Structure 1
Amino acid sequence: MATFLLIHGGGDVGWYWHLVEERLRAHGHRTFAPDLPDDDSATLDDYVDAATAAVADHEDLVIVGHSYGAYTATLAAQRLSARLLVLLAGMIPAPGESPNEWWANTGYRQAVEEQAALDGGRTGNDDPFISFYNGVPRPIAEEAMRRASHRGESSTVAKTPWPLPTWPSIPTRVILCEDDKFFPAPFLRRLTRSRLALTPDEVPGGHCAALSHPAEITNLLLGYLA
């Protein structure tokens, strides 16, 4: 039995993972998906404290971070000596790089513009049902937005450099979403290869694939345990 610590992305809450949690628990695993602090003065350490406190003394840890949650997940994985670190559509950080700096450093804007030219402006679209929740059933997308409507991200965390000098010495997997309109697949493939020298695994769906394709996400996670 493994323990999965599932860390949500920016502007989101732990409920994001509920469909994956149901499936992991059905296979006999423990899951924890805490809400991270939404205080504007919260620090990156506060985010990591909240994440690690959720799993207490559990062992055999797999830590999964979605999107912005990659910043917290990598630090939690090192602190807890996790068995495995998984980034789902993750913002792969570099040493000394703050979340605010990540966008320019990775060439994100150019990548979005290039993909938008190919898909008629769907990539980078201002409509969250297109950019974030494409492929998610409308009632689930609306519920996700309702649950996260109170949340504000900490500007303190956004300005905090990722503090590790190198990537954690923990087995790492990256999952990208083939129809992601927020982090285009070609962009995330390049980033994964350049920063981690890894080839990402790919699943169908958009940026919030844990809500649109939870079975595929779960199957990958279970496969990693093997």
Structure 2
Amino acid sequence: MTSTYVLIPGAWHGGWAWRPVAERLRAAGHQAVCLTLPGLRDGDDPAGHDLQDAVDHVVSEVERQELTNVTFVGHSWGGYPMSGAVHRLSGKVAEVIYYSAHVPVRGRPMIDDIPAEAAAWMRDLIDASPTRAILPTPQFVQAMSFMQGVEESTQRLVADLLTPQPGNYFLDALDTPSVSELGIPARYILGEYDQALPRSGAEFAARLGLEPIMVPGTHEGMLSHPDELAEAILNG
């Protein structure tokens, strides 16, 4: 049966980050749509975007493209707009997959769901920015352990592709039920060497009553291990 995969990138990323996986899903006979959220396109002004803007964009793209039998796949912070959109699109959603992703707690913004020291650091970066955005400098990417152990030239390339992250995406909370409360099937896929998540993937998965499905790679496994990730998405 043909499925439609809607792939949601994490913070600082655009739809480009999902392209290697999307090509493999298409080769298997499925439709794959790679979204880029407001403020994160190349050349976008990151100022003034709220989390609700990201949620609305996901919903509007599914409706605009008349997508059905949708399997959402959200990476990292992408778990927030994905979770917010699912309850509005539940009749069109077949499954929800969190990939090395945050699983939101209702009423709690992401910045309050990470260690206090990291939260203070990010608040300072947002407050110091004239656009209230967090810039993805190479030093920042390295500090976040997105691709630890990967060649420095590759890390620089990824850093160059990233775009400033609107700060309100981290400061806003969702007031929506968990997908587990909606009765929609869900999975949690976790990169084996992911060191970027602020909590263990097992802890995030447990919020859904799940055990993580392990795949090779770091936090950026959709770029470094697209074969294995696509297989996990397709076959569980």
When the two structures are superposed, what TM-score results if normalisation uses the length of structure 2? 0.77
Are residues 1:102 and 2:116 paired?
Answer: no
Alignment counterpart, residue 72 of structure 1, candidates 76, 81, 90: 81
Are residues 1:61 and 2:75 paired?
Answer: no
Is there any run of 5+ residues in structure 2 with no aligned partner, and where? Answer: 40-45, 120-138
Fraction of identical pairs, as percent: 30
Alignment counterpart, residue 93 of structure 1, candidates 104, 107, 111: 104
Are residues 1:214 and 2:226 paired?
Answer: yes
Change (3 A) 1:50 1:141: farther
- The residue correspondences of 1:176-195 to structure 2 (distance < 5 A) are 176-183=190-197, 187-193=200-206, 195=207
Is there any run of 5+ residues in structure 1 with no aligned partner, and where? Answer: 110-124
Distance between the aligned counterparts of 2:30 and 2:154, measured in 1? 24
What is aligned with 1:199?
211
Per-residue displacement from partner, 1:139-191 (whole Å, max 9, x unpaired)? Answer: 6544432222xx2222222221121144443111101111112127x822133
Contact 2:87–2:176 (Cα < 8 Å) also in 1: no
Q: CA deviation at 1:220?
A: 1.0
| 3-state SS of paired residue (1:68) | helix
Change (3 A) 1:47 1:28: same
Q: Which moved more, 1:82-91 or 1:161-170?
A: 161-170
Alignment counterpart, residue 145 of structure 1, candidates 144, 147, 159: 159
Change (3 A) 1:127 1:67: closer
- The residue correspondences of 1:30-179 to structure 2 (distance < 5 A) are 30-38=31-39, 39-55=46-62, 56-81=65-90, 82-104=93-115, 128=142, 131-134=145-148, 141-148=155-162, 151-167=163-179, 168-179=182-193
Distance between the aligned counterparts of 1:165 and 1:3, measured in 2? 23
Distance between the aligned counterparts of 2:141 and 2:48, measured in 1? 28
Q: CA deviation at 1:133?
A: 1.9
RMSD: 2.6
Distance between the aligned counterparts of 2:229 and 2:221, measured in 1? 8
Q: CA deviation at 1:135?
A: 5.7
Counterpart amino acid of residue 51 in structure 1: V
Change (3 A) 1:30 1:142: farther
What is aligned with 2:6?
5
Q: CA deviation at 1:78?
A: 2.1
| 3-state SS of paired residue (2:113) | helix
What is aligned with 2:134?
none
Change (3 A) 1:62 1:127: closer
Distance between the aligned counterparts of 2:154 and 2:172, measured in 1? 32
